[in-house]
Amino acid sequence: MNKPKRIAILGCTGSIGTQALDVIRKNHKHFVAEVLVGNSNAELLIQQALEFKPNAVVIADESKYQQVKDVLFAEDIKVYAGAKAIEQIVEMETIDMVLAAIVGYAGLASVINAIKHKKPIALANKETLVVAGDIVTQLAYENAVNLYPVDSEHSAIFQCLAGELDNSIEKIYLTASGGPFRGKEKGFLQNVTKEQALKHPNWVMGSKITIDSASLMNKGLEVIEAKWLFSLKPEQIDVIVHPQSIVHSIVQFNDGSMKAQMGLPDMKLPIQYAFTFPERIKNDFPRFNFLDYPQLSFEQPDKVNFPNLQLAFDAMAKGGNMPCVLNAANEIAVEAFLQDKIGFLEMSDLIETCLTKMSFVQKPTYDDYILCDKETRAFAKSLSLKKAL
């Protein structure tokens, strides 16, 4: 790399965003934080901006605009606010790559606009492909834009496919830790608290993704994301539980041979790989030692006690707008669980009801997805309120 790559970090105050800034901090010769986009944590956004001196920052929460602007005005850092500003900021000519790390459906519009403006995407927002994978991948193809996966599992598949362009994939295996409730029965799950669900055994993530991991929905969303990223059929994707989280995923080729990508569970590695591809640059991340892990184990996921994974496979198989329904219902279900309005198992009930009741659209347009997301959220909220009463 000759000059530093200028990166826009959408979701800079979240788990992925702060780890991406760690990568930039340690590799300032390679990367520059050109744009920082935060949600509502004005204090952290200001702190990051004062350290990294980006060209511009955006805060989604418009009520925090003046607070951010007052501090950064003297630093000659442009300050914007609101959802429309997030969507438009990716058009800046000085941006070389966009890290899409806004959680959930909220990240879709900015990714689509970035692709239209031919910005390479480091994709940490799986919901973008879950909701509108057909539109996003087609747009990326039309604009010759690369999508570099940041999820550890998809980064692993991506790394395993390097140099295998002409070789057919027979199957991929996405690994799952099993979350904090692996091996638990419904009797136990009925009464779990959000505090228990937020304690992931291996990964440090934001609350939404941590709850998704506990319910196995995170793996379900990753299954749908993998379909679009790697042009796979549903029957080519499998999930296997691997409690140690050392093997991040596996590719099986048409001759039966398999490639796996391994390493300690650390999101900074897939973030750095997405930033530097096709190069690898040296880092000081902790190294894996086989003797620390004398046994690596694998088992089938429990789709009976954790039905979200099967719901995701079903939504992917049906296609159309069903993954969009799945995602919107799940976002509302997780929110309701975190607010103690519904129980852990009731999240799956709510999502299944939405998948059954919402209208099916075989070939949705972008406007169809917007409407579907809005209607599903309204219906899911009404269901969560009924359960809360």
Domains and CATH numbers, the chain: 5-149 (3.40.50.720), 155-267+291-388 (1.10.1740.10)
Give the pTM. 0.93
| DSSP string across 91-107 | T-TT-SEEEE---SGGG
Reported as type and span, the H/E element at residue 53 is: none
pLDDT for position 205: 67
Band of pLDDT at residue 300, cut at 50, 70 and 90: very high
Report the chain's C-alpha Rg in angstroms: 20
Share of the chain above pLDDT 90, in %: 90
Q: What pLDDT digit, counting tens, does each position of 170-218 carry?
A: 999 999 999 899 999 999 999 998 889 888 766 566 788 889 999 999 9
- On the question of pLDDT at 1 being above 80, the answer is no
If we measure between CA atoms, which residue out of 294, 275, 292 comes closest to residue 283? 275
CA-CA distance, 250 to 173, in Å (whole number)? Answer: 5
Q: What is the pLDDT of residues 82-102, one digit of tens each?
A: 999 999 999 999 999 999 999
pLDDT tens-place string over residues 66-81? 999 999 989 999 999 9
CA distances 273 to 122, 123, 244, Å, are 10, 12, 22
336 falls in which pLDDT band (50, 70, 90)?
very high
Q: What residues contact 193, with CB distance under 8 A and at least 6 apart?
A: none
| 294: preceding bond cis by omega (within 30 degrees) | no
